[in-house]
Chain A
Amino acid sequence: MKHDLHTVKKAIKGDAEAFEELLFKEEKMLYYKALSYVGKKEDALDAIQETAYHAFMAIGKLRNPEYFSTWLFRILIRECYRLLRERDQLIPYEESELLKRLDHKADEEIDSFHLKEALSRLNSSYQTAIILFYYHDLSINDISEVMEKPVSTVKTNLRRARKKLKSELERSYPLNEKAT
Chain B
Amino acid sequence: MKKPHDPYGEFPQDQVRSAISSGIVKAKEQLEPPRYTKTTRKRKMVYALCSVAALFAIVICSSYYSPAVASSLSRIPIIGSVFGNSDLISLQKAQKSGLTSQIGETQTVNGISVTLDEILYDQNNITIGLFIESDKELDQFYFGAGMDFTINGKTPAGSTGTYGEEILSANTRTAIQEINVTEELPEEFQLGLTLHGEKGETWHFSTPVEKISEIHKIPVQHSQDVDGVHITVTEMSISETGLGIAYESYEEETDFEISRGGNIEFLVVDQDGNEITGRSGGVAGERVKDIIVYKSNKQFDPIDDHVTELTITPYVVIPSAGGRVEIDENGKETELEYKGNTIKPIEFESFKVKLPQ
Cβ-defined contact, B17 with A27, below 8 A: yes
Write out the residue numbers on chain A whose beta carbons fall within 8 Å of the beta carbon of B108. 42, 45-46
List the one stretch of A51-59, A118-126, A170-178 in contact with chain B: A51-59
B297 at the interface (CB under 8 A from A): no
In the complex, A97 Cα to B1 Cα: how many Å? Answer: 9
Cβ-defined contact, A56 with B23, below 8 A: yes
Total CB contacts across the A-B interface at under 8 A: 86
Cβ-defined contact, A53 with B24, below 8 A: yes
Question: Quick one: which of A32, A52, A135 contacts B19, CB cutoff 8 A?
Answer: A52
Give the B interface residue count (CB, 8 A).
29
Question: Quick one: which of A20, A51, A55 contacts B21, CB cutoff 8 A?
Answer: A20
A23 at the interface (CB under 8 A from B): yes
B26 at the interface (CB under 8 A from A): yes
In the complex, A178 Cα to B127 Cα: how many Å? Answer: 67
In the complex, A137 Cα to B2 Cα: how many Å? Answer: 10
Give the A interface residue count (CB, 8 A).
33
Closest A residue, CB atoms, query B22? A49
B174 at the interface (CB under 8 A from A): no
A50 at the interface (CB under 8 A from B): yes
Task: List CB contacts (< 8 Å) of B31-70 with chain A.
Answer: 31
Task: List CB contacts (< 8 Å) of A1-33 with chain B.
Answer: 14, 16, 19-20, 23-24, 27-28, 30-32
Closest B residue, CB atoms, query A31? B16
A15 → B minimal CB distance (Å): 11
B97 at the interface (CB under 8 A from A): no
In the complex, A136 Cα to B1 Cα: how many Å? Answer: 5
List the one stretch of B4-12, B257-265, B281-289, B318-326 in contact with chain A: B4-12
What are the 8 A-B residue pairs with the smallest beta carbon separation, nearest first? A52-B23, A56-B27, A53-B23, A49-B19, A42-B108, A48-B19, A49-B23, A45-B19
Q: Which residues of A contact B (CB under 8 A)?
A: 14, 16, 19-20, 23-24, 27-28, 30-32, 35-36, 41-42, 45-46, 48-57, 94, 96-97, 135-137
Q: Which residues of B contact A (CB under 8 A)?
A: 1-4, 8-9, 11-13, 15-17, 19-24, 26-28, 30-31, 107-110, 113, 202
Listed by A's residue number, 20 A-B pairs whose Cβ atoms lie within 8 Å are: A20-B20, A23-B20, A23-B24, A31-B11, A32-B3, A35-B8, A41-B9, A42-B108, A45-B108, A49-B26, A52-B20, A52-B21, A52-B24, A53-B23, A53-B26, A55-B23, A56-B24, A56-B31, A94-B4, A97-B4
